[in-house]
Amino acid sequence: MAYSERKINKLVSIVLGIIAALLLVAAVVIAIKHYWPEKENYSEFKNKPETVEEKLSENPINFEALKAQNDDVCAWIKFDSSDIAVDYPIVCAGEGKIEDYYLRRNLEGEYSTGGTVYIQKVNSVDFNDRCTLVYGHNMRNLSMFGTLKYLRDKESFERNKFFYIYTPGHILKYTIKSAFVYDDRHIMYSFDFSSDQGFKAFADEASNPKSLVKNVRDDVEIKNDSKIVVLSTCTNIDHERYLVVGVLTEDTKTK
Domain-by-domain residue ranges, the chain?
63-253
CATH class of the domain whose range is 63-253 = mainly beta
Cβ 73 vs Cβ 167: under 8 Å: no
Is 70 exceeded by the pLDDT of residue 154?
yes
The model's pTM: 0.80
> Pairing mode, if any, of strands 170-183 and 240-253?
antiparallel
Give the model's confidence band at 8: pLDDT under 50 very low, under 70 low, under 90 confident, else very high: low
Q: Which residues pair with 206 in a beta bridge?
A: none
Residue 46 binned pLDDT confidence (cut-offs 50, 70, 90): very low
Q: What whole-number distance in Å separates Cα of residue 135 and Cα of residue 148?
A: 12
What's the rounded Cα separation, in Å, for the pair 100 and 191? 20
- Look at residue 32 and tell me whether its pLDDT is greater than 60: no
Mean pLDDT for 160-172 is 97
Distance CA 65, CA 81 (A): 25
- With a cut of 60, say whether residue 241 has pLDDT above it: yes
Please give the mean pLDDT across all residues of the chain.
Answer: 88
* Identity of the amino acid at 179: A
